[in-house]
Amino acid sequence: MFFKQSGFTWLVVGLGNPGARYESTRHNMGFLAVDRLAEREKLRFNKLRFKAWTAEWKLGESKVLVMKPQTYMNLSGVPVGAAARFYKIPPEHILVVSDDIDLPVGKLRLRAFGSAGGHNGLKNIDSQIGQNYNRIRIGVGSPQEHHTDTVNFVLSRFSKAEMTLLQERIDFIASTINELIKKGITHYSNIIGMHNSK
């Protein structure tokens, strides 16, 4: 089967903007999550492929390419689409982690398909591989609550209280992504649901 020929059977992508200016901003939640995954699993983002920093993660029978696109957010689909086509990874074996301004800070939402919901990174990924891929969206609060516009809000940083909550959520995601890969989205959806209810 083509999975064994391609080498990688899964693609895990954290979305964000490259550069020190954007570090730890609301729009970079995906980067923060995969950085924590790399720290936990002792992975190294040491190879630049498809306009993205990549790390390799061996998880049982699965070989996972973990990716941090180095395009800006609105072109995130370029590296994702290129890697998916090159390694013949189907959309249902792709997981994208991103921020969500329509969710309260720390709220998690897991979907196996659906619209981008106004998120420019997800919109661009949709244009490259369609909408039938897995996505974890991490709530970062809304611009209205902070009385500012969307652009300034997503490029702002978190308060200490917000970051404390989000670190816990990032730790949770980093420690449980393997459940999605090993047991599927229905199983993982139950894990996310239980965590959100705490």
CB 10 within 8 A of CB 61: no
Q: Across the chain, which distance is largest between two alpha carbons, in Å?
A: 53
3-state secondary structure 84-140: HHHHCCCHHHEEEEEEECCCCCCCEEEECCCCCCCCHHHHHHHHHHCCCCEEEEEEC
Helix (H, G, I), strand (E, B) or coil at 72: coil
Is 119 annotated as catalytic?
Answer: no
Set 27, 93, 146, 187: catalytic member: 27
Q: Which helix (H) or strand (E) holds 24?
A: none
On the CB side of 94, CA atoms within 13 Å amount to: 28
Residues involved in catalysis: 27
